[in-house]
Structure 1
Amino acid sequence: MAAGYRTVGFKGYSVKFNPFSDQLLAVASSANFGLVGNGRLSILGTQPGTQSLSERKHFDTQDGLFDVSWNESHENQLITGSGDGSIKLWDITLNNHPISKWHEHKREVMSVEWNYVTKTSFISSSWDGTSKVWNPASPQSIRTFSEHQGCVYGSVWSPRQPDQFATCGEDKVVKLWSVNQPNGKSLATFNGHMDQVLSLDWNKYAPEQFVTSSVDRTIKIWDIRNPRGQLAMFGPFEFSVRRVKFSPFSPHYIAAAGYDMSASIWDVRNGSVVFVHDAHREFVFGVDWSLFHPGVMATCSWDEQVHLFKIPV
């Protein structure tokens, strides 16, 4: 299976499958590489048994969009992180305007993610050096976390512990946090990358493990019980890895996408590459796994293309 859709004039930054439907994807994109100009949230649909991928709806924004996350308790709602520092909540059954908006971050919002476990909160991270936890019913953030020195590229919830999340940033480190920590201090700091840490994700089947990717051109796997060193390392590669994502169906496979213009699937047991999708012609910034169909994946790229394909694992 292979399908494509072109986000004409917009560079793809993030693509996410809907957790309630096997036929919907959301894509966050920006004009002019996110430096200036509009953004677009595209809702794409698939048809069962076909190779088609078409737009169901889109929402245009005044500034670029860098990430998107579906509401874990509402199939028609999602949030976006924007270049103007705002976060918007959308309902795909409505037109034109977001149903809620928050604007506490001082710079670009690089990531947003809904809590998988409690489903009542989400987290954001920004170039302003902070991560914030939100409840969609509240007009202000619940808590702010700010130990990183420089941009925070990603904040990702633990798949088992509803209060815990991890962050990665420009300062080359990963930090583990708890929303319930009274003093707001991180629980642990993980050093080991030699340059900015661009992405991270948890292993859903071994929730003490997470994976990171870096400008130092490596992928590393860590255990939260041992901050002193990684469990495994892949690379160095020729180019930086922009995004990593554990499979939702197996503890053994990681998807990686980045500046080599491809998406690859790695077997963490032996460090081998089991599949490469190299149909993009520019940097690949977004990659996601379908939650309904094992091996079905989506990517988005600066080449203004969204690809849907199946891998043989």
Structure 2
Amino acid sequence: MLHYRTEGYNGYAIKYSPFFDNRLACAASANFGLVGNGRLYILGLTAQGIVGEKWFDTQDGLFDTAWSEIHENQIGVASGDGSIKLFDIALNEFPIMQWQEHQKEVFSLFWNPIQKDQFASSSWDGTVKLWTPGSPRSLSTYRTNSCTYSTSFSPHNPHMLSCVSSDSTLRIFDTRSPSAPAGPAGMMQQTGTMPSVSIPVSPMAPAELLTHDWNKYRPETIAVGGVDRVVRVFDIRAPGQPISELRGHNYAVKKLVWSPHWAGVLSSGGYDMSVRIWDDGVLVDAFGPGHGAGPGGPGTLGPPKVGKMLGVFDRHSEFVAGLDWCLFGGEGWIASAGWDESVWVWDAKAVMRGVRVGMR
């Protein structure tokens, strides 16, 4: 277990480099992001612990960061002033590119892992934007008309762009063309920049959605979490209800990430200052043989399965805002960042053995 202090700055996001297993980036804000500067930390994992290799200061708080998938030294940040900046860590502190189209805070940034010359941003201004590093303007704008906290690309389909918003809705857009279908046949299709799929999450008791992520092994599976403390797993082939629910957080779920090593395992961090490791309880294709015949007939699901909590990491003493799994080396390593000015790097396998790792 390794620790690094982001003194004076509260962590909002942590990301492993897609090129190096010993390099991390942490996006942080002074004064919990309410007012003041931001700082992007470039961190190295060494035999002596975590070392701060470099940092970049910004005039406004930073809420997210995303490594380039095509250039090992380039990294983007999402800022509270509505801007997106691209830094080259081999150069001095000034960004090599900057975009200013969002009208409010940019809260999420995600690089396309397949079509690697594209990345996406989402903002409190109710839009998601598609970008390429070489263009001074966005390629497309997708409107949610609600505060949009998280955006992501499917790791299986380079044209499938998703987001979750304050109106308790998961939306999936197709980035190819207004008339192109998004994903498997049978999914709802609309024209323009309207979502190809729109899933109202917990429609009986709507709550703000703060985070979501695509399963790395099951192309139709996506997990969402938010203010109501429940992590819900959906199969987008039958989005009427979740296939699994994970309950255990005491306060809002701020970040969740599927494991790159185990198909049914994900991590979630939240305002209860904990990181929890889960088995989603979906052991096979949620539809089963013949694509399922739940109580509602073909193409529907039975009651949601109940996921199992595998363990709790409890070292943070403030909100956990950032999580990421390492793609390389021994499977199971996680980095977490929080408002307690702490970055932790730890082995999820120890937590999954039932050990509660922490101070409380």
Which TM class, normalised by the smaller chain length? over 0.9
Aligned length: 309
2:122 counterpart of 1:85: no
2:320 counterpart of 1:284: yes
CA contact (8 A) 2:160 2:173 kept: yes
- 1:67-86 equivalences in 2 (<5 Å): 67-86=64-83
Q: Any idea what the Cα deviations from partners look like across 1:193-234, whole Å, max 9, x if unmatched?
A: 320010000001001110000101100001111121111112
Aligned pair partner of 1:184 in 177, 193, 214: 193
Structure 2: runs of 5+ lacking an equivalent: 179-191, 282-305, 353-360
Partners in 2 of 1:279 and 1:306 — Cα distance?
10
CA contact (8 A) 2:148 2:165 kept: yes
The Cα of 1:249 is off from its aligned counterpart by 1.0
> Which position in structure 2 is the counterpart of 1:52?
49
CA contact (8 A) 1:253 1:268 kept: yes
Structure 1: runs of 5+ lacking an equivalent: none
> Which position in structure 1 is the counterpart of 2:241?
229
Bigger Rg, structure 1 or 2: 2
Partners in 2 of 1:16 and 1:236 — Cα distance?
25
**Aligned-partner SS, 1:245:** strand
> Which position in structure 2 is the counterpart of 1:19?
18
> Which position in structure 2 is the counterpart of 1:197?
209
Q: Any idea what the Cα deviations from partners look like across 1:22-61, whole Å, max 9, x if unmatched?
A: 11000000001111100000000011xx360110000000
Partners in 1 of 2:121 and 2:249 — Cα distance?
29
**Aligned-partner SS, 2:28:** strand
> Which position in structure 2 is the counterpart of 1:300?
337
> Which position in structure 1 is the counterpart of 2:229?
217
**Aligned-partner SS, 1:225:** coil
Counterpart residue identity of residue 91, structure 1? D
**Aligned-partner SS, 1:168:** strand
Partners in 2 of 1:62 and 1:118 — Cα distance?
31
> Which position in structure 2 is the counterpart of 1:121?
118
Partners in 2 of 1:131 and 1:33 — Cα distance?
24
> Which position in structure 2 is the counterpart of 1:254?
266
Counterpart residue identity of residue 103, structure 1? Q
Partners in 2 of 1:236 and 1:278 — Cα distance?
14
**Aligned-partner SS, 2:78:** strand
CA contact (8 A) 1:283 1:303 kept: yes
Identity %: 43
2:152 counterpart of 1:156: yes
Aligned pair partner of 2:307 in 264, 271, 282: 271
The Cα of 1:237 is off from its aligned counterpart by 3.5
CA contact (8 A) 1:262 1:278 kept: yes
CA contact (8 A) 1:149 1:170 kept: no
Structure 1 residue runs of 4 or more that deviate by more than 6 Å after TM superposition? none
Of 111-120 and 175-184, the range deviating more from structure 2:
175-184
The Cα of 1:173 is off from its aligned counterpart by 0.5
Partners in 2 of 1:185 and 1:250 — Cα distance?
33
**Aligned-partner SS, 1:233:** strand
2:163 counterpart of 1:167: yes
Partners in 1 of 2:40 and 2:26 — Cα distance?
6
CA contact (8 A) 1:45 1:54 kept: yes
**Aligned-partner SS, 1:32:** helix
